[in-house]
Amino acid sequence: MFKLKMPISNKMENFNYSIVYFILFIYVNCINKLEKMVSEDDMEVDDGPPMLDREDYSEPSSSRRQSESEEEDYLDVKSSKIAKVARPDTGDHYDQVLNDQAKRFEYLLKQTEVYSHFVSSGALTEGKKLGSPLKIKEKKDGKVIPKVSAVGDHRHRKTEKEEDEELLEEERHNANIFCFAQSPWYIKGGEMRDYQIRGLNWMIALLENGINGILADEMGLGKTLQTISFIGYLKHYKNMPSPHLVICPKSTLPNWVNEFNRWCPSIVVVQLIGDQETRDAIINEKLMPGKWDVCVTSYEMAIREKCVLRKFNWRYIVIDEAHRIKNEKSKLSEIVRQFRSSHRLLLTGTPLQNNLHELWALLNFLLPDVFNSSDDFDAWFNTSSCFGDTGLVERLHTVLKPFLLRRLKSEVEKALPPKKELKIYIGLSKLQRDWYTKILMKDIDIVNGAGKLEKARLLNILMQLRKCCNHPYLFDGAEPGPPFTTDQHLVDNCGKMVLVDKLLPKLKEQGSRVLIFSQMSRMLDILEDYCLWKQYPYCRLDGQTPHQERQASIDAFNAPNSEKFIFMLTTRAGGLGINLATADIVILYDSDWNPQMDLQAMDRAHRIGQKKTVRVFRLITENTVEERIVERAEIKLRLDTVVIQQGRLAETQKSLGKDEMLTMIRHGADHVFAGKESEITEEDIDCILARSEEKNEALKRRLEELGESSLRNFTLDTQEASSVYQFEGKDYRGKQRKALGYWIEPPKRERKANYQIDAYFRDALRPHVEPKAPKAPRPPKQPQIQDFHFYPPRLLHLCEREVYYYRKTIGYKVPLMQDLPPEEALKRQEDEQKKIDEAVPLTEEELAEKEQLLHCGFSNWSRREFNQFIKANEKYGRNDVENIAQEVDGKSPDEVREFYKVFWARCCELADIDRVLGQIERGEARIQKRLSVKRALESKIARYRAPFHQLRVQYGTNKGKNYTEEEDRFLVCMLHEIGFGKENLYEELRQAIRVAPQFRFDWFLKSRTAMELQRRCNTLISLIEKEMHDVEQNDKSSGGGRNRNNCKSGRSGSSAATPEKRKTDVQDGKRSSRRSKA
């Protein structure tokens, strides 16, 4: 690209000279490019796409290439048949492409010198070099002859003959352009409007000049009809062979097919949609025969069936909602660029996102041979030398003028009733307020700026707050139940539902029909329950609605005299291309971050065919994050309008920043924390609407007073700064507030009430218990005497007398005990009162005796030390004094032995002696159990000379399926070897298994945990104990006879028995080894 090497101040003065140089420089390259394309007669004709060379294709990944090759192999059988349909005349098609390209260059160069820059850049990027002759060549009678350039040589005056030929050529060209003055004859469903006919003529002009275009009329002006009429023109006037391809959103696909059948039934339409089996049938039975004109499919189907669609040479590719391809790196954008086509048309009702790169992506799709470099485009429009240059505005308008047509309803459709939007503000219910407070309190550190600002965490807080504003039942556990009922609580617990409940009956009386849009499909579930409860006929459409049900719901709602009152839609799924003009009320239950999404939702009703004024009610929860979301969208929409009206490119839209999200979250937090009650009033719906109207007008006036710079810096925060804090354009109050930090006082904690059903009935059915009487007073400085201190009984008697006398001195009266029968309680009261009345103080000798007795007990023993002593008795048994003496921390063995003697002598004096003795006895039982297990193991092991090989377990019916006999034998032997009862026994057993060579490949046993090994060992121990018990019983029953035989035989008997026993052991060992091998 040519760059001017001069100061910025001189660039503006020499702008015209630069353009002249551009024109000369570009024409030379353009002519060389055309000369080479026309002169190569014997070139091999490539039936690739005319707009994109094969070198421009993005190289797919290896996995994608493999999958595509498999699909192409699958379609090889169809290729020849498809080729007959898709490529009727390859040579004529290629000549037409060259002709269109030449016409396109010539047309654009005549429009403005700006395009000379892009045509030149395109030539340079393809590696073209400057050529000397300013001539291009044309074919005539098969010979290549030079022709004077249409631009001409400024050094050579045009002759009369040359001028006449040029004028005749222009006349012939203009004669071929057809212009409609009224609705075409092939349009059967009605008459086209005047502006729609102008749109048809505009597309015809694009076709004649070889230009692709963007039809960007506002939503609801009939872009579908204009496109259908243009395709009908191609068939009936131009005799242009098919096929054409229309790619649209899934939700509008049936509408395209219906509109074709309604307005131009002469066009044969094929709908490519469905599962794999259905699509294969459509391809084989409809696409392959070729008796059709237009194929209509969705974005997803275009991606899945790309291999089939790439086989066709499409005459026109039409993409509805074309902002889907504004990212050239998206999958859809890459795939549609690979489709072969002569012409391309984009439809979009959303204003172009005035982002430089997205604009280039659309222009690159339309004219890839002109706009082939995004860097070049950015440099031409976004260099620093262009800022502040009025020429930049003219350049942008000039670039878009040849192939962009955008008209607004207010400009062309005067008969269309207006659209009126009203923001309705409603407060929070008590339940909503509680949940809103919980969400803020959960992340109070973030709200007060103390925690780390993570964008994902802030987005999550925003989403939870928006759910709370929509309905608290969106949170699990908020709805009362079970049982879950659809009742008045569904309305009362949500401010927006209270408003909807008041609004819908009024609208139904007026004969209106309602569209309700929400971001959340689960909110539609709640609204659906409400409609069923109120018996409102409704339809529903969201992202999960099947394709057939979508169209059936739309048809049912739009049917004449339809009884459907409400149509519920999600904003994203129901906001594109659906015609619901039979409704005149739009309720935006919640707002989208992108204001264009809400505008698209409104235009489902505000479109051609609407006979009533469309009223839009936007529900906003007051003093919450929703207020900030709507205000931000309003400012963004107004700022975009200001920029677009001035024709400037707006800056790239920045994503929501952390500070902005934090400001939204903080908005209204003080107000929510300040109260607990519901803010929903009982005022009439008319009063609510009137109050909201006043608030809307105030905000509108405030925004209209601000210019662009004020809008960019506009904040809807609390109070305005006083002029005292404004100095030299800086707000020093804001700086001070930022330095001191931000703090929201959280609400005071309250004790949580218990509403559990079980607790309620337990309290209700519990017998009434009178409160306990206050304890009788005791004298101050009385020594703390515990029963385990084992003081002498005489000390307890003296202390008791001292207490009675103290109560006498203070005049204490014994109350009647409520937990005893009346007669017994009265007798007990009299006895106690008599002891108090007869009490006398201790004598000097008794006081001295008391002091002496206080040193006779174990006053230095604490409750913790006493519990350790009890646990030691439980662990070792009451007879193992030495081990018990070592277990009490802080006491010497002698002290423990002394306490041991007194404890077992006077333990009956303890208040909880039954509990203490029960604990010790349970421990002793465990000790005895351990000893019996040890004896059983020793007896079992002693029966075998080689227990690791010969030991057998008598399973009976308890033989498990998981453990083998060899594994059980190892476990029993290792229990005996390690020592049953040893601490960490089963961990050591687990380690022994891991190092045992015979189990190095036994992954089952090696993977058992210590707990699993313990369970298996307990099973084996119970079997061994039972076996040993049976052996002892047998020995006792046959013991007398055996003893007599032994006395008679003497030593010979015992020696004779030994070899027999050894022989039996050897046989058992052989059988065991055979089983293990088996």
Three-state DSSP state, 63: helix
Contact 251, 98 (CB under 8 A): no
Residues 407 and 540 reside in one and the same domain:
no
DSSP string, 593-609: SSHHHHHHHHTTTSSTT
Contacts of 998 (CB under 8 A, 6+ apart): 966, 970
What token pair was written down for 991? Answer: 């380690």
pLDDT exceeding 90 applies to what percent of the chain? 14
770 CB-side CA count, 13 A = 8
How far does CA 711 lie from the centroid of its chain? 32
Q: Worst-scoring range by mean pLDDT, 543-547, 1004-1008, 1034-1038?
A: 1034-1038
Residues 525 and 583 reside in one and the same domain:
yes
Cα 777 to Cα 387: distance, rounded to the nearest angstrom: 93
- Per the model's pLDDT, the better-predicted residue between 5 and 810 turns out to be 810
| pLDDT over 50 at 7, yes or no | no
**In this predicted model, what pLDDT tens digit does every residue of 507-533 receive, in sequence order?**
999 889 999 999 888 899 999 999 999
CATH number at residue 902: 1.10.10.60
**Can you name the residues that pair with 298 across neighbouring β-strands?**
248
* Residue 976: pLDDT band with limits 50, 70, 90: confident
The Cα angle at residue 528 between residues 506 and 275, in degrees rounded to 5: 130
- Per the model's pLDDT, the better-predicted residue between 919 and 389 turns out to be 919
Taken as a whole, the chain contains a residue count of 1078
The residue whose two tokens read 């929070």 is 428
1031: left (phi over 0), alpha (psi -120 to 50) or beta: alpha
Is 106 a member of any domain? no
Residues 932 and 991 reside in one and the same domain:
yes
Is 914 a member of any domain? no
pLDDT exceeding 70 applies to what percent of the chain? 64
Q: Worst-scoring range by mean pLDDT, 168-182, 691-705, 892-906, 1028-1042?
A: 168-182
Residue of 671, 534, 558, 556 lying closest to 609 (CA atoms): 558
Cα 336 to Cα 325: distance, rounded to the nearest angstrom: 9
Contact 695, 423 (CB under 8 A): yes
Residue 789 gets which letter from DSSP? G
What token pair was written down for 621? Answer: 């929860």
**Can you name the residues that pair with 585 across neighbouring β-strands?**
514, 615
Three-state DSSP state, 347: strand
**Can you name the residues that pair with 137 across neighbouring β-strands?**
146
| pLDDT over 60 at 452, yes or no | no
Is 1023 a member of any domain? yes
- In this prediction, residue 308 carries a pLDDT of 92
The Cα angle at residue 640 between residues 637 and 641, in degrees rounded to 5: 85
* Residue 78: pLDDT band with limits 50, 70, 90: very low
Residue 841 gets which letter from DSSP? P
Three-state DSSP state, 247: strand
Residues 831 and 952 reside in one and the same domain:
no
The reply to whether omega before 771 is within 30° of 0 (cis) is no
- Per the model's pLDDT, the better-predicted residue between 233 and 577 turns out to be 233
**In this predicted model, what pLDDT tens digit does every residue of 530-554 receive, in sequence order?**
999 999 999 999 888 887 788 888 8
Contacts of 1043 (CB under 8 A, 6+ apart): none
* Residue 43: pLDDT band with limits 50, 70, 90: very low
- In this prediction, residue 324 carries a pLDDT of 85
Contact 234, 293 (CB under 8 A): no
Out of 344-353, 450-459, 827-836, give the one with best mean pLDDT: 827-836
The reply to whether omega before 483 is within 30° of 0 (cis) is yes
- Per the model's pLDDT, the better-predicted residue between 746 and 331 turns out to be 331
- One-letter amino acid at 507 equals L
| pLDDT over 90 at 301, yes or no | yes
Residues 880 and 939 reside in one and the same domain:
no
Residue 540's Cβ-count burial label (10 Å; 0-12, 13-18, 19+) is buried
* CA distances in angstroms from 717 to 624, 664, 725, 877, 926, listed in the order given: 13, 10, 17, 77, 74
| pLDDT over 80 at 1070, yes or no | no
- One-letter amino acid at 111 equals Q
Residues 493 and 607 reside in one and the same domain:
yes
Residues 404 and 424 reside in one and the same domain:
no
Three-state DSSP state, 899: helix
Residues 1024 and 992 reside in one and the same domain:
yes
- In this prediction, residue 850 carries a pLDDT of 83
* CA distances in angstroms from 973 to 940, 951, 983, 996, listed in the order given: 10, 8, 17, 13
- One-letter amino acid at 16 equals N
| pLDDT over 80 at 71, yes or no | no
Is 185 a member of any domain? no
Residues 804 and 687 reside in one and the same domain:
no
Cα 549 to Cα 559: distance, rounded to the nearest angstrom: 15
Cα 53 to Cα 48: distance, rounded to the nearest angstrom: 7
Query: What is the mean pLDDT of the segment spanning 311-340?
Result: 90
Instruction: Give buried/exposed letters for 782-799 (b at 16+ CB in 10 A, else e).
Output: eeeebebbbbeeebeebb
The residue whose two tokens read 């026993």 is 1061
Cα 1046 to Cα 1052: distance, rounded to the nearest angstrom: 9
Cα 200 to Cα 183: distance, rounded to the nearest angstrom: 10
DSSP string, 912-976: THHHHHHHHHHHHHHHHHHHHHHHHHHHHHHT-SSHHHH-----TT---SSS-HHHHHHHHHHHH
| pLDDT over 90 at 318, yes or no | yes
Query: What is the mean pLDDT of the segment spanning 25-30?
Result: 51
Cα 864 to Cα 843: distance, rounded to the nearest angstrom: 36
- In this prediction, residue 460 carries a pLDDT of 82
* Residue 176: pLDDT band with limits 50, 70, 90: low
* Residue 678: pLDDT band with limits 50, 70, 90: low
Q: Worst-scoring range by mean pLDDT, 255-264, 403-412, 490-499, 919-928?
A: 403-412
**In this predicted model, what pLDDT tens digit does every residue of 390-409 receive, in sequence order?**
455 456 666 677 778 888 87
Q: Worst-scoring range by mean pLDDT, 116-120, 580-584, 809-813?
A: 116-120
Is 712 a member of any domain? no
The residue whose two tokens read 């010969």 is 950
Residues 834 and 903 reside in one and the same domain:
no
Count the neighbouring beta carbons within 10 Å of the beta carbon of residue 173: 12
Residue of 495, 344, 329 lying closest to 425 (CA atoms): 495
Query: What is the mean pLDDT of the segment spanning 196-206?
Result: 89
Q: Worst-scoring range by mean pLDDT, 377-381, 471-475, 746-750?
A: 746-750
- In this prediction, residue 564 carries a pLDDT of 92
Residue of 367, 485, 384, 478 lying closest to 433 (CA atoms): 478
CATH number at residue 236: 3.40.50.10810
Contact 21, 112 (CB under 8 A): no
Residues 851 and 996 reside in one and the same domain:
no
* Residue 177: pLDDT band with limits 50, 70, 90: low
Is 739 a member of any domain? no
- In this prediction, residue 573 carries a pLDDT of 77
- In this prediction, residue 818 carries a pLDDT of 74
Cα 808 to Cα 13: distance, rounded to the nearest angstrom: 117
**Alpha-helix residue ranges (DSSP H) falling in 112-244:** 114-125, 160-176, 194-208, 223-236
Count the neighbouring beta carbons within 10 Å of the beta carbon of residue 444: 14
**In this predicted model, what pLDDT tens digit does every residue of 118-144 receive, in sequence order?**
444 443 334 333 333 333 334 444 433
Residue 311 gets which letter from DSSP? T
The Cα angle at residue 649 between residues 646 and 655, in degrees rounded to 5: 120
Residue of 393, 400, 299 lying closest to 359 (CA atoms): 400
DSSP string, 648-686: PPPPPPPPPPHHHHHHHHHTTHHHHHH--S-------HH
The residue whose two tokens read 């009299």 is 830
Contact 1016, 1004 (CB under 8 A): no
Cα 332 to Cα 521: distance, rounded to the nearest angstrom: 26
What token pair was written down for 594? Answer: 């992108």
Q: Worst-scoring range by mean pLDDT, 638-652, 916-930, 971-985, 998-1012?
A: 638-652
Maximum Cα–Cα distance for the chain, whole Å?
158
**In this predicted model, what pLDDT tens digit does every residue of 857-882 receive, in sequence order?**
888 888 888 888 888 888 888 888 88
Residue 680 domain boundaries: 420-428+487-658+675-706
Helices (H) and strands (E) in the chain, counts: 48, 17
- In this prediction, residue 145 carries a pLDDT of 39
CATH number at residue 616: 3.40.50.300
Query: What is the mean pLDDT of the segment spanning 399-420?
Result: 77
| pLDDT over 60 at 255, yes or no | yes
Contact 134, 28 (CB under 8 A): yes
- In this prediction, residue 265 carries a pLDDT of 92
The reply to whether omega before 482 is within 30° of 0 (cis) is yes
Number of domains in the chain: 5
Residues 952 and 996 reside in one and the same domain:
yes
* Residue 106: pLDDT band with limits 50, 70, 90: low
Is 27 a member of any domain? no
Residue of 198, 210, 209, 240 lying closest to 343 (CA atoms): 210
Is 645 a member of any domain? yes
- In this prediction, residue 315 carries a pLDDT of 92
* Helix (H) or strand (E) run with residue 738 in it: helix 732-740
- One-letter amino acid at 1077 equals K
**In this predicted model, what pLDDT tens digit does every residue of 894-953 receive, in sequence order?**
888 888 888 888 888 888 888 888 888 888 888 888 888 888 888 888 888 888 888 888
Out of 383-392, 463-472, 476-485, give the one with best mean pLDDT: 463-472
Contact 2, 100 (CB under 8 A): no
Residue 61 gets which letter from DSSP? P
- In this prediction, residue 793 carries a pLDDT of 83
Mean pLDDT across the chain: 72
Cα 253 to Cα 296: distance, rounded to the nearest angstrom: 7
CATH number at residue 837: 1.10.1040.30
pTM: 0.45
- One-letter amino acid at 759 equals A
**In this predicted model, what pLDDT tens digit does every residue of 715-743 receive, in sequence order?**
444 333 333 344 345 454 444 444 434 44
